[in-house]
Amino acid sequence: MDLVTLDDIRAAAADLAPTVLRTPLLRAPWDDGLWLKPESLQPVGSFKLRGATHAVARLDEAGRGRGVVTHSSGNHGQALAYAARAAGVPCTVVVPEGAPEVKIARMRAFGATVLLVPPAQRLAVAQRIVAESGAVLVPPFDDRRIIAGQGTVGTEIVDDLPDVDVVLVPVGGGGLASGVATALRALRPSTAVIGVEPELAADARESLAAGRVVPWDVELTYRTCADGLRTNLSELTLAHLRDRLDGIVTVTEEEIRAAAGRLINGARLVVEPSGAVATAARLFRSGELPAGRTVAVVTGGNVDPALLADLVTVP
């Protein structure tokens, strides 16, 4: 399988420069050995803007005219809508029912056409629209352009903390972890890149152990509050993770919520549960992790206001 390279990631970085924020590394106030990479500060509130912007930048003229389509629980849909609007490209997002209203509202605010469907039908509906309209499918993670764009998170980490020992990355579909692991493997192979996922959506851990994609039904993955991590790996992302990821750990719902509360109260970052899982691993699974200077990627902050108010009260 044709895996993404460091050259691909560097090419993506050039596409991102006009649109995507180069997020800083922030020292965690409660842990001298932990830095936070707050992708929640992006204009769309998540790292997804990186891959989406790169994918739109690589469209040919015919593709730009026909528009783009994706399926997303929220963050990738927002990112693609934002990137498409900036480029003057029509955008349609197929959203699973039950996605946070705040994310749906922002997709529409960025000019996307939003279609709500049962969770199990999201990909099929997106593919049908592509077949009927000729629009270009831009998947949330199962795409080399997306992986290369997300990999710029990894190159920035190495630029800002060259002696980083451990990078903790949330895993849903695996695009971010694939890109970050690719960058770190090329630039600093001694750094351990560890994936983190909810116990209630641990398909990546099972897939890596089995050596093949082991999909979990939506009835299982939709139990987790980390709505951005409910998707399964693809063959493409599994190939990257098998080759380049150094390990994977899981965290509980209680640990995710506690980590979100710590980030909100302690680091003054607005985060959604999906964005807190890497920090949860550092807080509650340190015995399963390599030692040393650690970066936790805070992937997003598009949280429902009612849930945010609840998380603020978590010690």
Joined tokens for residue 102: 């705040």
CA distances from 96 to 44, 68, 232 (A): 19, 18, 14
How many CB atoms are located within 10 Å of the residue 3 CB? 14
Catalytic residue among 72, 73, 234, 274: 73
Active-site hit among 40, 48, 103, 274: 48
Q: Which residues contact 43 (CB under 8 A, 6 or more apart)?
A: 19, 21, 49, 82
Q: Determine whether 234 is an active site residue.
A: no
**Burial annotation 31-45 (CB, 10 A radius, 16+ → b, else e):** beebbbbbbbbbebb
DSSP element (H, E) containing 140: none
Question: Euclidean distance between the first and final Cα of the chain, in Å?
Answer: 45
Strand 192-198, strand 247-251: pairing:
parallel
- The interaxial angle of helices 101-109 and 75-87, nearest 10 deg, is 10
- State residue 68 phi and psi, 5-degree precision: -120, 155
Q: Is 103 among the residues known to form the active site?
A: no
Catalytic residue numbers read 48, 73
